[in-house]
Structure 1
Amino acid sequence: MKKTRDYGTAWRILRIESITDQIFIKAQRIRTLEEKKISKVDEDITGEYIGIVNYCLIAMMQLDSGPDTPTELSVEHVSKLFDEKANETRDLMFAKNHDYGEAWRDMRVSSMTDLILMKLLRVKQIEDNKGLTLASEGVKANYQDMLNYAVFALIKLGVK
Protein backbone atom coordinates (compact mmCIF):
# COMPACT_ATOMS: atom_id res chain seq x y z
CA MET A 1 0.00 0.00 0.00
CA LYS A 2 2.99 2.29 0.57
CA LYS A 3 4.03 1.87 -3.06
CA THR A 4 0.46 2.57 -4.15
CA ARG A 5 0.65 5.84 -2.24
CA ASP A 6 4.01 6.62 -3.87
CA TYR A 7 3.30 5.49 -7.45
CA GLY A 8 -0.45 5.27 -7.74
CA THR A 9 -1.74 2.29 -9.68
CA ALA A 10 0.73 2.40 -12.56
CA TRP A 11 0.63 -1.42 -12.50
CA ARG A 12 -2.88 -1.22 -13.98
CA ILE A 13 -1.27 -0.60 -17.38
CA LEU A 14 0.34 -4.06 -17.30
CA ARG A 15 -1.21 -6.89 -19.24
CA ILE A 16 -1.57 -10.10 -17.24
CA GLU A 17 1.26 -11.70 -19.26
CA SER A 18 3.58 -8.88 -18.18
CA ILE A 19 2.74 -9.48 -14.53
CA THR A 20 3.48 -13.18 -15.01
CA ASP A 21 6.86 -12.21 -16.47
CA GLN A 22 7.58 -9.90 -13.50
CA ILE A 23 6.95 -12.81 -11.14
CA PHE A 24 9.16 -15.01 -13.33
CA ILE A 25 12.02 -12.48 -13.10
CA LYS A 26 11.79 -12.47 -9.30
CA ALA A 27 11.59 -16.28 -9.00
CA GLN A 28 14.46 -16.76 -11.44
CA ARG A 29 16.61 -14.32 -9.45
CA ILE A 30 15.86 -16.24 -6.26
CA ARG A 31 16.90 -19.50 -7.92
CA THR A 32 20.08 -17.93 -9.28
CA LEU A 33 20.98 -16.60 -5.83
CA GLU A 34 20.21 -19.97 -4.24
CA GLU A 35 22.56 -21.67 -6.69
CA LYS A 36 25.39 -19.09 -6.85
CA LYS A 37 25.23 -18.09 -3.17
CA ILE A 38 26.50 -14.61 -4.13
CA SER A 39 24.49 -11.47 -4.83
CA LYS A 40 26.03 -8.61 -6.79
CA VAL A 41 22.98 -6.41 -6.18
CA ASP A 42 22.16 -5.36 -2.63
CA GLU A 43 18.70 -6.95 -2.57
CA ASP A 44 18.09 -10.19 -0.73
CA ILE A 45 15.87 -13.17 -1.45
CA THR A 46 13.35 -12.02 1.15
CA GLY A 47 12.49 -8.93 -0.87
CA GLU A 48 12.01 -11.03 -3.99
CA TYR A 49 9.57 -13.37 -2.23
CA ILE A 50 7.66 -10.34 -0.95
CA GLY A 51 7.59 -9.07 -4.53
CA ILE A 52 6.13 -12.40 -5.68
CA VAL A 53 3.38 -12.11 -3.06
CA ASN A 54 2.52 -8.58 -4.17
CA TYR A 55 2.63 -9.32 -7.90
CA CYS A 56 0.41 -12.38 -7.42
CA LEU A 57 -2.13 -10.17 -5.66
CA ILE A 58 -1.82 -7.56 -8.41
CA ALA A 59 -2.37 -10.30 -11.01
CA MET A 60 -5.54 -11.46 -9.29
CA MET A 61 -6.81 -7.87 -9.08
CA GLN A 62 -6.08 -7.44 -12.80
CA LEU A 63 -7.91 -10.68 -13.64
CA ASP A 64 -11.03 -9.26 -11.99
CA SER A 65 -10.70 -5.86 -13.65
CA GLY A 66 -12.74 -5.29 -16.74
CA PRO A 67 -11.96 -3.06 -19.69
CA ASP A 68 -13.98 -0.27 -18.07
CA THR A 69 -11.86 -0.29 -14.89
CA PRO A 70 -9.90 2.97 -14.76
CA THR A 71 -6.11 2.90 -14.73
CA GLU A 72 -5.93 5.07 -11.63
CA LEU A 73 -7.66 3.63 -8.58
CA SER A 74 -7.84 5.15 -5.12
CA VAL A 75 -5.60 3.80 -2.39
CA GLU A 76 -8.71 2.86 -0.43
CA HIS A 77 -10.15 0.87 -3.34
CA VAL A 78 -6.84 -0.93 -3.96
CA SER A 79 -6.54 -1.69 -0.25
CA LYS A 80 -10.00 -3.27 -0.28
CA LEU A 81 -9.23 -5.37 -3.39
CA PHE A 82 -5.81 -6.33 -2.01
CA ASP A 83 -7.36 -7.52 1.27
CA GLU A 84 -10.09 -9.45 -0.56
CA LYS A 85 -7.57 -11.35 -2.69
CA ALA A 86 -5.20 -11.91 0.23
CA ASN A 87 -7.99 -13.23 2.47
CA GLU A 88 -9.36 -15.49 -0.25
CA THR A 89 -5.89 -16.91 -0.88
CA ARG A 90 -5.22 -17.30 2.85
CA ASP A 91 -8.45 -19.26 3.24
CA LEU A 92 -7.40 -21.53 0.37
CA MET A 93 -4.00 -21.99 2.03
CA PHE A 94 -5.60 -23.04 5.32
CA ALA A 95 -7.82 -25.57 3.52
CA LYS A 96 -4.90 -27.03 1.55
CA ASN A 97 -2.68 -26.94 4.62
CA HIS A 98 -5.24 -29.08 6.42
CA ASP A 99 -5.52 -31.57 3.55
CA TYR A 100 -1.75 -31.81 2.98
CA GLY A 101 -0.86 -32.06 6.66
CA GLU A 102 1.41 -29.00 6.67
CA ALA A 103 3.87 -30.74 4.32
CA TRP A 104 5.43 -27.36 3.49
CA ARG A 105 7.08 -27.32 6.93
CA ASP A 106 9.32 -30.21 5.85
CA MET A 107 10.12 -28.75 2.44
CA ARG A 108 13.27 -26.91 1.46
CA VAL A 109 12.96 -23.25 0.51
CA SER A 110 14.68 -24.10 -2.78
CA SER A 111 11.86 -26.56 -3.56
CA MET A 112 9.35 -23.79 -3.03
CA THR A 113 11.28 -21.65 -5.50
CA ASP A 114 11.18 -24.49 -8.03
CA LEU A 115 7.45 -25.00 -7.52
CA ILE A 116 6.84 -21.29 -8.11
CA LEU A 117 8.87 -21.49 -11.33
CA MET A 118 6.91 -24.58 -12.43
CA LYS A 119 3.61 -22.79 -11.74
CA LEU A 120 4.88 -19.83 -13.76
CA LEU A 121 5.64 -22.05 -16.74
CA ARG A 122 2.13 -23.47 -16.44
CA VAL A 123 0.60 -20.00 -16.36
CA LYS A 124 2.66 -18.94 -19.37
CA GLN A 125 1.40 -21.97 -21.29
CA ILE A 126 -2.21 -21.24 -20.32
CA GLU A 127 -1.74 -17.62 -21.38
CA ASP A 128 -0.23 -18.75 -24.70
CA ASN A 129 -3.29 -21.02 -25.15
CA LYS A 130 -5.55 -17.97 -24.66
CA GLY A 131 -6.78 -19.32 -21.32
CA LEU A 132 -8.03 -22.62 -22.70
CA THR A 133 -7.30 -25.69 -20.58
CA LEU A 134 -8.39 -29.29 -20.79
CA ALA A 135 -7.81 -30.56 -17.29
CA SER A 136 -5.89 -27.99 -15.29
CA GLU A 137 -6.80 -25.21 -12.93
CA GLY A 138 -6.86 -21.72 -14.36
CA VAL A 139 -4.32 -18.98 -13.90
CA LYS A 140 -5.90 -17.60 -10.73
CA ALA A 141 -5.39 -20.90 -8.87
CA ASN A 142 -1.77 -20.92 -9.98
CA TYR A 143 -1.25 -17.34 -8.76
CA GLN A 144 -2.76 -18.35 -5.42
CA ASP A 145 -0.44 -21.35 -5.15
CA MET A 146 2.61 -19.20 -6.01
CA LEU A 147 1.58 -16.64 -3.42
CA ASN A 148 1.21 -19.32 -0.78
CA TYR A 149 4.56 -20.94 -1.62
CA ALA A 150 6.17 -17.50 -1.33
CA VAL A 151 4.56 -16.99 2.08
CA PHE A 152 5.76 -20.44 3.22
CA ALA A 153 9.28 -19.57 2.04
CA LEU A 154 9.17 -16.29 3.96
CA ILE A 155 8.06 -18.12 7.11
CA LYS A 156 10.86 -20.65 6.70
CA LEU A 157 13.33 -17.77 6.19
CA GLY A 158 12.18 -16.32 9.52
CA VAL A 159 10.35 -13.26 8.18
CA LYS A 160 7.54 -12.06 10.43
Structure 2
Amino acid sequence: MANTSQQYDSVIETCRTLFINKTKDYGSAWRILRLPSLTDQIFIKAQRIRGLQENKERKVDEGEVSEFIGIINYSIMALIQLDRGVVEQPDLNADQSLKLYNEKVAVTKQLMQDKNHDYGEAWRDMRVSSLTDLILQKLLRVKQIEDNKGKTIVSEGIDANYQDMINYAVFALIHLNE
Protein backbone atom coordinates (compact mmCIF):
# COMPACT_ATOMS: atom_id res chain seq x y z
CA MET A 1 0.00 0.00 0.00
CA ALA A 2 2.96 2.35 0.56
CA ASN A 3 3.70 2.15 -3.16
CA THR A 4 0.12 3.05 -4.00
CA SER A 5 0.25 5.97 -1.59
CA GLN A 6 3.46 7.28 -3.16
CA GLN A 7 2.11 6.82 -6.68
CA TYR A 8 -1.10 8.59 -5.66
CA ASP A 9 0.87 11.52 -4.24
CA SER A 10 2.96 11.76 -7.40
CA VAL A 11 -0.13 11.93 -9.63
CA ILE A 12 -1.77 14.50 -7.35
CA GLU A 13 1.40 16.61 -7.34
CA THR A 14 1.21 16.83 -11.14
CA CYS A 15 -2.46 17.82 -10.92
CA ARG A 16 -1.80 20.29 -8.10
CA THR A 17 1.01 21.97 -10.06
CA LEU A 18 -1.32 22.53 -13.00
CA PHE A 19 -4.04 23.83 -10.65
CA ILE A 20 -1.58 26.27 -9.05
CA ASN A 21 -0.33 27.51 -12.41
CA LYS A 22 -3.85 27.98 -13.76
CA THR A 23 -4.75 29.81 -10.56
CA LYS A 24 -1.84 32.16 -11.21
CA ASP A 25 -3.12 32.73 -14.76
CA TYR A 26 -6.88 32.93 -14.11
CA GLY A 27 -7.38 33.39 -10.37
CA SER A 28 -10.37 31.55 -8.94
CA ALA A 29 -12.66 32.28 -11.90
CA TRP A 30 -13.93 28.67 -11.60
CA ARG A 31 -15.77 29.72 -8.41
CA ILE A 32 -18.61 31.10 -10.55
CA LEU A 33 -19.31 27.66 -12.07
CA ARG A 34 -22.45 25.91 -10.93
CA LEU A 35 -22.17 22.22 -10.14
CA PRO A 36 -23.86 21.02 -13.35
CA SER A 37 -21.31 23.05 -15.35
CA LEU A 38 -18.44 21.32 -13.59
CA THR A 39 -20.14 17.96 -14.07
CA ASP A 40 -20.47 18.70 -17.79
CA GLN A 41 -16.78 19.65 -18.04
CA ILE A 42 -15.82 16.35 -16.45
CA PHE A 43 -18.27 14.50 -18.70
CA ILE A 44 -16.70 16.04 -21.83
CA LYS A 45 -13.25 14.96 -20.69
CA ALA A 46 -14.39 11.41 -19.89
CA GLN A 47 -16.19 11.14 -23.25
CA ARG A 48 -13.03 12.32 -25.03
CA ILE A 49 -10.96 9.69 -23.20
CA ARG A 50 -13.42 7.01 -24.25
CA GLY A 51 -13.24 8.27 -27.82
CA LEU A 52 -9.45 8.18 -27.75
CA GLN A 53 -9.58 4.62 -26.43
CA GLU A 54 -11.95 3.50 -29.18
CA ASN A 55 -10.81 5.49 -32.22
CA LYS A 56 -7.69 4.70 -34.19
CA GLU A 57 -7.33 8.21 -35.63
CA ARG A 58 -6.58 11.22 -33.43
CA LYS A 59 -7.12 14.76 -34.73
CA VAL A 60 -5.96 16.70 -31.66
CA ASP A 61 -2.50 15.98 -30.27
CA GLU A 62 -3.51 15.61 -26.63
CA GLY A 63 -3.86 12.21 -25.06
CA GLU A 64 -5.63 10.62 -22.16
CA VAL A 65 -3.22 11.90 -19.51
CA SER A 66 -4.23 15.56 -19.77
CA GLU A 67 -7.91 14.60 -19.75
CA PHE A 68 -7.57 12.46 -16.60
CA ILE A 69 -5.73 15.36 -14.94
CA GLY A 70 -8.65 17.60 -15.92
CA ILE A 71 -11.13 15.14 -14.41
CA ILE A 72 -9.21 15.19 -11.13
CA ASN A 73 -8.94 18.98 -10.95
CA TYR A 74 -12.53 19.67 -11.99
CA SER A 75 -13.76 17.08 -9.48
CA ILE A 76 -11.80 18.78 -6.71
CA MET A 77 -13.29 22.12 -7.76
CA ALA A 78 -16.75 20.52 -7.61
CA LEU A 79 -16.11 19.26 -4.09
CA ILE A 80 -15.07 22.78 -3.06
CA GLN A 81 -18.21 24.21 -4.70
CA LEU A 82 -20.36 21.70 -2.82
CA ASP A 83 -18.99 23.02 0.47
CA ARG A 84 -18.68 26.72 -0.29
CA GLY A 85 -21.42 27.32 -2.82
CA VAL A 86 -21.27 29.25 -6.06
CA VAL A 87 -20.28 32.92 -6.08
CA GLU A 88 -20.92 35.77 -8.51
CA GLN A 89 -17.28 36.90 -8.50
CA PRO A 90 -14.04 35.02 -7.78
CA ASP A 91 -13.46 35.17 -4.03
CA LEU A 92 -10.36 33.10 -3.29
CA ASN A 93 -6.73 34.05 -3.56
CA ALA A 94 -4.11 31.49 -4.62
CA ASP A 95 -3.27 30.44 -1.05
CA GLN A 96 -6.92 29.94 -0.12
CA SER A 97 -7.59 27.94 -3.30
CA LEU A 98 -4.59 25.71 -2.65
CA LYS A 99 -5.59 25.15 0.98
CA LEU A 100 -9.08 24.02 -0.06
CA TYR A 101 -7.61 21.87 -2.86
CA ASN A 102 -5.29 20.14 -0.39
CA GLU A 103 -8.12 19.55 2.10
CA LYS A 104 -10.25 17.83 -0.56
CA VAL A 105 -7.29 15.74 -1.72
CA ALA A 106 -6.55 14.59 1.85
CA VAL A 107 -10.13 13.41 2.44
CA THR A 108 -10.31 11.74 -0.98
CA LYS A 109 -6.96 9.99 -0.54
CA GLN A 110 -8.09 8.64 2.83
CA LEU A 111 -11.21 7.24 1.17
CA MET A 112 -8.98 5.60 -1.45
CA GLN A 113 -6.78 4.07 1.24
CA ASP A 114 -9.79 2.72 3.14
CA LYS A 115 -11.36 1.22 0.02
CA ASN A 116 -8.00 0.00 -1.26
CA HIS A 117 -7.51 -1.88 2.01
CA ASP A 118 -10.92 -3.53 1.76
CA TYR A 119 -10.69 -4.33 -1.96
CA GLY A 120 -7.08 -5.51 -1.88
CA GLU A 121 -5.90 -3.17 -4.64
CA ALA A 122 -8.27 -4.75 -7.16
CA TRP A 123 -7.85 -1.64 -9.34
CA ARG A 124 -4.37 -2.84 -10.29
CA ASP A 125 -6.01 -5.67 -12.29
CA MET A 126 -8.42 -3.30 -14.04
CA ARG A 127 -7.96 -1.83 -17.49
CA VAL A 128 -7.78 1.92 -18.03
CA SER A 129 -10.84 1.56 -20.28
CA SER A 130 -12.80 0.06 -17.36
CA LEU A 131 -11.78 2.94 -15.11
CA THR A 132 -12.97 5.32 -17.83
CA ASP A 133 -16.33 3.54 -18.00
CA LEU A 134 -16.69 3.72 -14.21
CA ILE A 135 -16.03 7.48 -14.33
CA LEU A 136 -18.70 7.85 -17.02
CA GLN A 137 -21.13 5.80 -14.92
CA LYS A 138 -20.45 8.02 -11.90
CA LEU A 139 -21.04 11.10 -14.07
CA LEU A 140 -24.41 9.77 -15.21
CA ARG A 141 -25.30 9.15 -11.57
CA VAL A 142 -24.27 12.68 -10.62
CA LYS A 143 -26.33 14.13 -13.48
CA GLN A 144 -29.36 12.18 -12.26
CA ILE A 145 -28.83 13.34 -8.67
CA GLU A 146 -28.50 16.93 -9.94
CA ASP A 147 -31.74 16.48 -11.90
CA ASN A 148 -33.32 15.24 -8.66
CA LYS A 149 -32.21 18.47 -6.92
CA GLY A 150 -29.59 16.57 -4.89
CA LYS A 151 -32.05 14.12 -3.36
CA THR A 152 -31.30 10.41 -3.16
CA ILE A 153 -33.29 7.62 -1.54
CA VAL A 154 -30.66 4.98 -0.79
CA SER A 155 -27.61 6.11 -2.76
CA GLU A 156 -24.49 7.95 -1.71
CA GLY A 157 -24.41 11.64 -2.46
CA ILE A 158 -22.74 13.69 -5.13
CA ASP A 159 -19.58 14.21 -3.07
CA ALA A 160 -18.85 10.47 -2.88
CA ASN A 161 -19.25 10.18 -6.63
CA TYR A 162 -16.78 13.02 -7.27
CA GLN A 163 -14.33 11.40 -4.86
CA ASP A 164 -14.64 8.08 -6.67
CA MET A 165 -14.03 9.82 -10.01
CA ILE A 166 -10.87 11.41 -8.61
CA ASN A 167 -9.63 8.06 -7.35
CA TYR A 168 -10.46 6.22 -10.59
CA ALA A 169 -8.66 8.92 -12.59
CA VAL A 170 -5.61 8.68 -10.30
CA PHE A 171 -5.60 4.90 -10.78
CA ALA A 172 -5.81 5.36 -14.55
CA LEU A 173 -2.87 7.77 -14.50
CA ILE A 174 -0.84 5.35 -12.39
CA HIS A 175 -1.54 2.64 -14.97
CA LEU A 176 -0.64 4.95 -17.85
CA ASN A 177 2.65 5.88 -16.12
CA GLU A 178 3.67 2.24 -15.58
- Shorter-chain TM-score bucket reads over 0.9
The partner residue of 1:97 within 116, 120, 132 is 116
2:101 paired with 1:119 = no
- 8 Å CA contact 2:32, 2:88 repeated in 1: no
Q: Which residue matches 2:158?
A: 139
Residue type of the alignment partner of 1:134: I
The partner residue of 2:50 within 31, 54, 57 is 31
Q: Which residue matches 2:29?
A: 10
- 8 Å CA contact 2:123, 2:171 repeated in 1: yes
Q: Which residue matches 1:42?
A: 61
Q: Residues of 1 paired with 2:41 and 2:77: CA distance?
A: 11
- Greater fraction of residues in helix: 2
Shift, 1:68, TM fit: 6.8
Q: Count how many residue pairs are aligned between Structure 1 and Structure 2.
A: 159
User: CA 1:120–1:68 in 2, change beyond 3 Å: closer, same or farther?
Assistant: closer
2:88 paired with 1:65 = no
Matched residues, percent identical? 65
Shift, 1:71, TM fit: 2.2
TM-score normalised to the size of structure 2?
0.86
Q: Residues of 2 paired with 1:53 and 1:82: CA distance?
A: 11
Q: Which residue matches 2:99?
A: 80
Residue type of the alignment partner of 1:38: E
- SS of the counterpart of 2:153? coil
Structure 1 gap ranges (5+): none
Q: Residues of 1 paired with 2:114 and 2:90: CA distance?
A: 34
- Which stretch has the larger CA shift, 68-77 or 41-50? 68-77
The partner residue of 1:109 within 110, 125, 128 is 128
Residue type of the alignment partner of 1:117: L
Shift, 1:39, TM fit: 1.6
TM-score normalised to the size of structure 1?
0.96
Structure 2 gap ranges (5+): 1-19
